[in-house]
Amino acid sequence: MAAGADIVILDGPLGTELAARGIETPAPLWSAAALLDARGCDVVRAIHRDHARAGATVHTANTFRTRRRQAGAAWAELAARAVSLAREAVPPGHRVAGSIAPLEDCYRPDLSPADAREEHRELARALAAAGVDVLLCETFPHVGEALVALEEAVATGVEAWASFTAGPEADLLSPEDVEVAAREAAARGARAVLVNCTPAARTLAYVERLAACGAPFGAYANAGAPGEGLGWRAAPGSSAAARYADLARSWIEAGATIVGGCCGTGPEHVAALRALVDDDARAPARRRRRAAGSPR
Q: What pLDDT digit, counting tens, does each position of 56-114 carry?
A: 999 999 999 999 999 999 999 999 999 999 999 999 999 999 999 999 999 999 999 99
pLDDT at 208 over 80: yes
Cα gap 107→140, rounded to integer Å: 8
pLDDT-derived band at 296, boundaries 50, 70, 90: very low
| Global confidence as pTM | 0.93
| pLDDT > 90: percent of the chain | 88
Q: Which of 204, 146, 128 is nearest to 170 (CA)?
A: 204
CA distances from 34 to 1, 16, 29 (A): 39, 12, 9
pLDDT of amino acid 234: 64
Q: What is the mean pLDDT of residues 145-173?
A: 98
Structure confidence at residue 232 as a pLDDT band (50, 70, 90): confident
Q: What is the pLDDT of residue 68?
A: 97
